[in-house]
A and B are shown apart, each in its own frame.
Chain A
Amino acid sequence: MPKYQFLEQLERAFAIAKKDLRIYYKRGPVVIFGLIMPLFLFLAFSIGRSMPVEQLFTGLLAMTIFFSSMSIGPAIVPFEARSRTLERLISAPVSVWAIFIGDVIASFVYGLLISTVPLIIGLALGVNMGNSLVLCLGVILAALCFASFGVLLSAYPPTDVPSTVMMISNLVKFPLVFISGVFIPIQGWGRIIASISPLTYFTDLVNYCTQGNSYYSVFVDFIALIGFTLLFLMVAIKIHEKTLPERL
């Protein structure tokens, strides 16, 4: 694809992202699974336990960014298939990859915006953020990675029922929270399982920034997040390309 055409398509992906943000941020499933759910999970883990504030901050930030970045992505395609606006997008001069990159951008922006809340709370509580540049880069990469994951989760089955996608998405999300050492550090053989979760690497990065200790090096954490993002994006676009006709 020529460079000018790629940039043109990217511009159209941003238009789709703008539309997604306008429409989906206030939808029930997005609010419930993107904001309320992580808040309750955080409270369930933290109330009544004497945990250092840095550990609480790691948990809150990881949960918020993980759930909020993955909340819009899975909802968009089934909603659009049901309201027949997906057909409108496909008949426009926009590549399939640009449509889904647009969805990823919307989820990414939403996740990034929501993640400022725990960051502000952390600052207010006096959490030592350590290397704030590393933390900011980590937040950006994690939001992108989880946004791509969310769009991947909506790729199969090709349904137009948003609750079906949300159910599958939660089936994947909850186990990942428990195996990624968000609140309870993972040790021993559990580390092998933890390494398959992208959330592990973000949690590790935040631990490095706030507590100065991490299991992996910062470099490995960044490479893992980038690797997972590319993998999720490529697989999501491939599966969506295949399943799209079944949604129409």
Chain B
Amino acid sequence: METAIEVKGLIKNYEEITAVNHINFEVRKGEIFGFLGPNGAGKTTTIRILTGVIKPDSGTATIRDYSILKEPLKAKQIMSVVPEMANAYIDLTAWQNLMLIGELYGVSKKKRQERAHHLLKEFKLYERRNHLARGFSKGMKQKLILCMALLTEPQVLFLDEPTSGLDVESARLIRDTIRQINKDGTTIFLSTHNMEEANKLCDRIAIINHGKIAAIDSPENLRMKSSSLKSVEVSFIKPVLVNELSRIPNVTEAKKIGDKIRLYTDEPHSVINSLTDYARSKGLTIVSLNTLAPTLEDVFIKLIKEHRGD
């Protein structure tokens, strides 16, 4: 399969802090690649290096066939960025912002006007096209920035926390757009805090912590690899002591979650049998009993903890 982004031995230091520490990964052409990590893990630094905003101290990064270090203009020509912080020109109108981007990427006047009309209508900003971006809400600004990124029809699109702080409707519109443009052939590099978003959108995910890649795989494989995070969730008609349930054989951890108790285990069947025995012996009625596969969030927290050496 063709490669859209190739990163080899990337290192970036800020004085005594190593923001990105010798990372390697590949993003395949046409996939949605999620980039997950806690705050300060190195996500934004990596995106800034890949988009040619800052230079790494060592290592290489290639976008399609172009090295971002040796041929930055050619690499930038085929990609677009939706940065974490809104950065449309607030003293320009939505239309002027789009025309500026078209001119900076060398898009012909006719084409940039056609694309701008189409995108502004699609993102429901057309009526506000002659208004200064200064008066736009956060959601509208984010939609405008996405329009600016899509105007050039990029082969590779970098999105840094694109739905952060948005209302549900705007976030959904942006997710639907990401799916659609990916379907049309654009490779997506998505940095996000939102596990659910990554789970629903991404073909593969890289988890980064302290500047190092902790894991790369599909969301499903990451979940399956963390079998110790399988759990059984139970609730009884009367409250019970969590400590008592944590002593059930094969239970690694017990947590009270609302009116339920979640028991983490490698052997859900054995735990279910033990729970029914426990209920019978105590004369309790089981209200609900579910087996749960690990969520991506569980996997993420586990990997980050392992990486930290907790």
Q: Which residues of A contact B (CB under 8 A)?
A: 5, 8, 11-12, 15-16, 18-19, 22-23, 83-85, 87-95, 245, 248
Contacts and interface: CB of A to CB of B under 8 A. Distances in A.
20 contacts: A11-B106, A12-B104, A16-B104, A18-B103, A19-B89, A19-B92, A22-B91, A23-B91, A83-B90, A84-B83, A84-B87, A85-B87, A85-B88, A88-B83, A88-B88, A89-B104, A91-B76, A91-B81, A93-B77, A95-B73
Identify the interface centre among B52, B72, B87: most chain A CB within 10 Å of its CB: B87
A147 B197 CA distance: 48
B89 A87 contact: no
Given A19-B100, A84-B87, A91 B52 contact: yes
Nearest to B83: A87
Interface of B: 48, 51-55, 72-74, 76-77, 81, 83, 85-92, 96, 100-101, 103-106
Contacts of A87: 48, 53, 83, 87
Chain A CB within 10 A, most for which of B73, B74, B89: B73
Given A84-B87, A85-B89, A15 B103 contact: yes
Contacts of B104: 12, 15-16, 89, 92-94
Contacts, number: 70
Given A15-B100, A19-B92, A248-B54, A92 B76 contact: yes
Given A23-B92, A91-B53, A12 B87 contact: no
Nearest to A84: B87
**Shortest 5 CB-CB distances between A and B: which pairs?**
A15-B103, A93-B76, A84-B87, A92-B104, A93-B77
Given A23-B91, A84-B85, A88-B87, A248 B48 contact: yes
Contacts of B81: 88, 91
A23 B90 CA distance: 9
Contacts of B55: 245
Given A12-B106, A22-B96, A84-B87, 10 more contacts: A19-B89, A19-B92, A19-B96, A83-B90, A85-B88, A87-B48, A88-B88, A92-B105, A94-B73, A245-B54
Given A15-B100, A95-B73, A83 B87 contact: yes
